[in-house]
Amino acid sequence: MRIGVLDIGSNTGHLLVVDAYRGAPPLPAFTYKEPLRLAEHLDAEGAVDSRGVKALVRFVDEARAVAADKGCSEVIAFATSAVRDAVNADAVLAKVESQTGVRLEVLAGDEEARLTFLAVRRWFGWSSGRLGVFDIGGGSLEIATGRDETPDVCTSLPLGAGRLTRDWFPEGVPTDAEYDALRLFVRQQIAGNVGALRRGGDFDHVVATSKTFRSLARLCGAAPSEAGPYARRALRRDLLGAHLDELRTLSVAEIAERPGVSPTRAHQMVAGAVVADALMDLFDLPELEICPWALREGVLIERHDHM
């Protein structure tokens, strides 16, 4: 069965076409994506502006056509933080549906965390024991932990790399004062949740997902994408700290030249690294293993399980 998963994230619109078989992992067949930067298209009142809405409608319509052309029998379409938090979310969703015929489901933050956790559990299996899962998106940070396929505790914090860049680094390269203020804010936000997430016990296996973590791991020496999904990749705290000290002094163009950093995300790498560094420090984690599966795969797995 060929299924399309249409993910409208805070940074990127992404259609993943997969072939799903009972008793087998979903096999990617085609991908179509575009940087929408919806988290940066929120106006002073918190509404998605007209340019953002226009770009979203166009992309969803194009993705719908691509999914049909690739033979998808079903398209699962959802939106995350940027649409979820927009004060005009209902109007945006109605316009997308009226002009494209696609109805986007808005996932709550804890639902994002739960589905991402499911994907990571399926990838690594039961031998991972008590999992801790971290996902830095464009608009939010999701954290989940547990021993089963459903996490015991999950939370979503407004610490997405795109959101923080827009709110704290308006001129691009942060000043020392801007950087220090963001670092303090991020650590206060995360520290308030450490106790609840650790109450069930220490982690047996700690995992990170998302493009931000993958880019940071590659920047710190992890295997490139050409090595395939089964190559072990990890982000080490000591290496991240060293790179963060340098990243905060570079221009966006200079960051974009670094390995693993795409030009469309280079501007938010410093904010993403600040969040990752705070997580690893406050949870006392020397390393995070990178999982190639995340929210899209979690959505697909749950749909496939219910077929």
Q: What's 88's domain CATH number?
A: 3.30.420.40
Which of left, alpha, beta for 284 (phi over 0: left; psi -120 to 50: alpha)? left
Both 269 and 131 in one domain: the answer is yes
pLDDT at 154 (0 to 100): 94
Share of the chain above pLDDT 90, in %: 91
pLDDT in tens, 251-301: 999 999 999 999 999 999 999 999 999 999 999 999 999 999 999 999 999
pLDDT of 307 strictly over 80: no
Which residues constitute the domain of residue 64?
2-106
pLDDT in tens, 184-210: 999 999 999 999 998 888 999 999 999
pTM of the model: 0.96
Both 94 and 119 in one domain: the answer is no
* Boundary-marking domain end, from 106, 128, 149: 106
Neighbours of 58 (CB within 10 A): 15
Look up residue 246 and give its two tokens: 């340098």
Helix, strand, coil % over all residues of the chain, rounded to 5: 50, 20, 30
- Between CA 42 and CA 287 the distance in angstroms is 34
pLDDT in tens, 226-255: 999 999 999 999 999 999 999 999 999 999
Instruction: With CA atoms as reference, report the closest residue to 32 among 10, 55, 64.
Output: 64
pLDDT of 49 strictly over 80: yes
Is there a domain that residue 227 lies in? yes
Both 90 and 165 in one domain: the answer is no
* Boundary-marking domain end, from 106, 134, 163: 106
- Between CA 60 and CA 71 the distance in angstroms is 17
Is there a domain that residue 303 lies in? no
Number of domains the chain is built from? 2
Both 171 and 258 in one domain: the answer is yes
Both 37 and 87 in one domain: the answer is yes
Average pLDDT of the residues in 53-71: 98
DSSP for 8-33, written as a single string: E-SSEEEEEEEE--TTS--EEEEEEE
- Between CA 227 and CA 134 the distance in angstroms is 23
Both 166 and 195 in one domain: the answer is yes
Is there a domain that residue 259 lies in? yes
Residue with structure tokens 């995070």? 288
Look up residue 75 and give its two tokens: 């398209």
pLDDT in tens, 75-115: 999 999 999 999 999 999 999 999 999 999 999 999 999 99
- Between CA 77 and CA 60 the distance in angstroms is 9
Average pLDDT of the residues in 110-127: 97
